[in-house]
Every structure is written in C-alpha cells, then in structure tokens.
C-alpha cells in the first residue's frame, strides 16, 4: 500500500520482523541513507555482526532516482546507482512497516518525471520553521523532491538579506490581513509577520537534502514587491511615494523600477539567495506584473528609449533577461511563471517556465524551446476547495481531479539534458486564506498524495486502486502527525 505506486512489485510469502537486534550496514556512499533509515526504524548500524539490512550503491539500476528493494525473511537489500535512489528506497521501507514487520517482496522502481514539486507560500502567511522541517519530511515520504519556497510577495518579505535590514524590519510585517477574497474589504485587525535568517534557511536546506528534497527559492520580481517597496521606496518607479506592506490580496500596480538602483538591489539579493540555496534553479516570479507605471515613470521611459523600445511594456522581458543573466553567471537557471498576454517565446532563452494557467501555456513554451514545469491551476492548486461549495475561488479541485492530471497529456516529451520538454509537475499551496500549519495540512491532504502518485507513477492510472492504498496511507500520515490537529476550516 505504497504512495506513490512503485513501477514493479513482486509480492513474496513471509515477513521480515523488526526488532532491536536488527542491524543496518551501508556500503560507501550509502551512509546518509542508512542513517535516515535507522532514525525512522529505531535501529542501529552494524557492530561486527552480520547486517540484516544492507544498503549499497550499485553500478547498474533503474535510472538516477530509481532503486531496487529485496525483502526476505532474514535480510533486506536496498540498492541504487545514486544516493537519491537510496533515499527514495528508504521512504518505501518507511511506508511498508506494519506492526514491526516488513512484508517480503521485490520492488524495482523509478519516477516518471525528474521534477516533482510543491510550492509552499510563506510570504502571505509566515509558517513556523518547525512546520517547514516537518513538511519537507512528509514530502520525502511521498518522493516529492522539490520544495518551491515562495519567500517574497506584496504582503511580506521572509528572507534575511545582508545589507538590506529594512526588508525584514519593515517588509516582514503588516498590521492586518484581508480575511476574504481580493477586493472583499474584510480585514482581521491582527498584525502578522516573521522571517527566516540565512542560518535557519541553510539548516532547512541541509535537512531537506538529507531526505532527497531540493529547495528552490522564489524571489518575486518585478511585480508582487510591495513589501520590498515599503522597506526601500527608492527601488520603485516613484521613490517619493511611501507605501505600506500590502494588507490586501490581488495584483498591485506598484512594481520595481528598471533603473540601476533597482537592478543592483535585485542582483545583490539573487547572489545571497544563490549562496544560501545550492539548488541549480532560482525562481524569479515574473507573473501578474502590470506595466502601467513604466509608461509614466521618467526612469522607465529613459530606459525604454535607451534600449530602443517603442513600448515600455517590453521592459518586462528585458528585466527578466537581466536577472536570468545574473543567475547564469552564478551557475543557476532562472525559473519564471508563464503568464497570460506574455507569449512563452518572450521569455528569456534558457529559462524554465512554470505553466500555471493551463496546459496549453506549457505546450507553447516547449514549442518555443523551453523546459516546462506543468502546474495548471485547476488540477494543482491545492488552495482551491476539495469539495462543494466552491468558496471564494469559484473552483473545486477534488482528489480525483488531482489524480487524473496528466503532465504529459497530448504526447508531450519529458525534458532531457538541455532539450525542451516537460521537466516535471508541481502542486501549489498559496496561503492567503491558510494562515496556520493546520490550514495547510487540511488543504494538502489527501490531495497531495494523489499528486505524488501522478508525478511518480509509470503505470496506468487506476483511481479505485489508488483509493484503496490511500485508506491505509492516511493512517500512516496520522501517526506522523501530518494531518490537521484541529477542526479549523478554511474557505478559499
């Protein structure tokens, strides 16, 4: 009853009993996976006695993230060609434990897609660091390997940046929050805020890597930046304007300027972000960016004239290209949201595109030479309600909707090397109306289980069979305290 479903499972008679006398032994390169497994199972490493659980790297296997698992009554043997594969196998063993026993079987497994991500928005509502660590661990259980951490937005700046102290002294706090949808005019009257130090984020990165999870940070630009402009007005198009951190949801017309001061700020932030997060990708947003201010701001008009642009709106693609170049110099690849009205071909060459509007955006981006993360909102936005009534969004996304999502629909190719194609899929958890970890848990499960199965499995979909596995799996999530502990309700 494993989620996500393994590629090939061969059941065998008998079981491997787990007791304190069992020992784990690791070949070279398998030590970290063995340590993780020992922590999950409450066992120790071998001390001269013959190991009963053996982990090793092999020269051949089912792909870079694949693993092979052989459980017999007297021995467990886990092999993979990479540490990542071993870590996935460890999570399978974790899922298989039942009553201090492991069922005897043989598994050969590998994922369908290389990027199996979850976006967690900590900008709209700051989430406790302890919860982020737990969330990463539960992601790893489901073999989800990318945490897209949405760190900045109009309503909050959550990462400490050296040399720019007002980003967290001012930008990380707002006096109240909207409690209805965008434009509702309803506010809670309660201050909200918080941020993470670079040391805290480095530790989160370390713990995630030990579980096979890569953290991809997102620093929104050039729109969704009211928190940054509240801290440093000189970054905007009209430096004389003093703006508060935004307390509303929606799209603000206040965006970054394209003058040298704003560009230098963004480059400094990206350098520090790249230093904290070793992932080869950094998300720079790019979505929902009205360019109205660039049509009247003297600095923007001067920049457009300098570049020979007859339409200041073209500064959007130019700005993203500047940031993509900065990241390329840092050895990173920029990721941007695909946006309505911005043809994917207008994205800087070499950027990865997150297709959130619909699958057609993703197919268009692939045709224009990009690698794409498929994230169509009707199938992957877990902040939408899972059942009727639809709530403020007007959209219901059920477990069946998520399970039925096919990132490769229409015969789209999987990205390989630098070739265009589908790099992976991603679920989104936006937190405008999810202010606490319990709200996030309630929105995530069980739909995140369905997403994990969709992103990993190579077998044909079978929803009824998935539901049978899910019924057992939910007991495991409950035992791990991964489910909400209160009856708090959310109505996105």
CA angle 53, 54, 60 (to 5 degrees): 145
* Strand pairing category for 44-45 and 173-174: unpaired
Which tokens in the block code for residue 135? 């969330």
> Can you name the residues that pair with 74 across neighbouring β-strands?
none
Respond yes or no on whether the N-terminal peptide bond of residue 4 is cis (omega within 30° of 0): yes
Q: How far apart, in Å, do the first and last CA atoms of the chain sit?
A: 32
Which tokens in the block code for residue 154? 């109009």
70: annotated active-site residue:
no
* Strand pairing category for 421-429 and 371-374: parallel
Of the residues 142, 150, 224, 370, only one is catalytic, namely: 224
Within 10 angstroms of residue 461's Cβ, the number of other Cβ atoms is 14
Which tokens in the block code for residue 368? 């224009």
462: annotated active-site residue:
no
Of the residues 109, 137, 153, 154, only one is catalytic, namely: 153
* Number of residues written out for the chain: 492
User: What 3 state SS string does the chain have?
Assistant: CCCCCCCEEEEEEEEEECCCCCEEEECCCCHHHHHHHHHHHCCEECCCCCCCEEEEECCCCCCCCCEEEEECCCCEEEEECCHHHHHHHHHHHHHHCCCCEEEEEEEEECCCCCEEEEEEECCCCCCCHHHHHHHHHHHHHCCCCEEEEECEECCEECECCCCCCHHHHCCCEECCCECCCCCCCCECCCCEECCECHHHHHHHHHHHHCCCCEEEEEEEECCCCHHHHHHCHHHECCCCCCCCCCCCCCCCCCCECCCHHHHHHHHHHHHHHHHHCCCCEEEEECCCCCCHHHHCCHHHHHHHHHHCCCCHHHHHHHHHHHHHHHHHHCCCEEEEECECCECHHHCCCCCEEEECCCHHHHHHHHHCCCEEEECCHHHHECCCECCCCCCCCCCECCHHHHHCCCCCCCCCCECCCCCCEEEEEEEEECCCCCCCHHHHHHHHCCHHHHHHHHHHCCCCCCHHHHHHHHHHHHHHHHHCCCCCCCCCCCCC
Pair 490, 433: CB distance under 8 Å: yes
65: annotated active-site residue:
no
Of the residues 35, 56, 200, 288, only one is catalytic, namely: 288
What residues are labeled active site? 153, 224, 288
């Amino acid at each position: 009853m494993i989620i996500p479903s393994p590629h090939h499972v061969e059941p065998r008679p008998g079981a491997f009993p787990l007791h304190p006398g069992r020992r784990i032994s690791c070949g070279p390169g398998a030590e970290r996976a063995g340590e993780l497994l020992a922590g999950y199972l409450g066992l120790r490493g071998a001390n001269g006695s013959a190991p009963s659980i053996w982990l090793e790297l092999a020269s051949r296997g089912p792909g870079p993230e694949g693993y092979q698992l052989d459980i017999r009554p007297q021995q467990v043997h886990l092999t993979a060609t990479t540490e990542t594969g071993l870590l996935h196998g460890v999570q399978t063993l974790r899922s298989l434990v039942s009553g201090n026993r492991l069922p005897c079987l043989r598994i050969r497994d590998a994922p369908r897609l290389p990027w199996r991500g979850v976006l967690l928005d900590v900008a709209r509502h700051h989430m406790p660091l302890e919860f982020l660590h737990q969330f990463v661990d539960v992601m790893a259980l489901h073999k989800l390997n990318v945490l897209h951490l949405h760190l900045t937005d109009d309503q909050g700046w959550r990462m400490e940046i050296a040399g720019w102290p007002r980003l967290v002294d001012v930008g990380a706090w707002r006096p109240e929050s909207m409690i209805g949808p965008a434009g509702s005019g309803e506010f809670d009257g309660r201050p909200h805020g918080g941020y993470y130090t670079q040391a805290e984020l480095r530790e989160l990165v370390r713990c995630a890597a030990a579980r096979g999870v890569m953290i991809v940070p997102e620093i929104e630009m050039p729109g969704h930046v009211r928190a940054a402009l509240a801290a440093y007005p000189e970054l905007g198009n009209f430096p004389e304007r003093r703006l508060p951190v935004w307390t509303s949801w929606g799209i603000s017309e206040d965006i970054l300027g394209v003058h040298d001061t704003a560009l230098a700020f963004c480059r400094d932030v990206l350098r520090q972000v790249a230093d904290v997060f070793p992932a080869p990708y950094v998300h720079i947003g790019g979505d929902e960016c009205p360019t109205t201010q660039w049509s009247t701001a003297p600095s923007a008009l001067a920049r457009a004239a300098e570049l020979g642009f007859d339409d200041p709106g073209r500064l959007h693609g130019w700005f993203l290209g500047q940031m993509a170049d900065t990241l390329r110099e840092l050895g990173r690849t920029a990721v941007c949201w695909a946006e309505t009205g911005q043809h994917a071909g207008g994205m800087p060459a070499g950027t990865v595109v997150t297709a959130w509007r619909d699958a057609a955006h993703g197919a268009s981006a692939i045709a224009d030479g990009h690698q794409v993360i498929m994230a169509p909102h009707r199938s992957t936005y877990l902040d939408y309600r899972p059942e009727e009534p639809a709530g403020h969004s007007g959209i219901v996304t059920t477990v069946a909707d998520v399970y039925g999502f096919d990132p490769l629909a229409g015969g789209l190719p999987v990205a390989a090397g630098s070739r265009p194609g589908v790099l992976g899929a991603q679920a989104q958890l936006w937190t405008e109306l999810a202010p606490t970890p319990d709200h996030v848990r309630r929105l995530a499960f069980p739909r995140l289980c369905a997403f994990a199965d969709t992103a990993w499995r190579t077998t044909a979909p079978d929803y009824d069979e998935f539901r049978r596995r899910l019924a057992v799996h939910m007991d495991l999530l409950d035992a791990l305290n991964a489910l909400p502990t209160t009856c708090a309700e959310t109505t996105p």
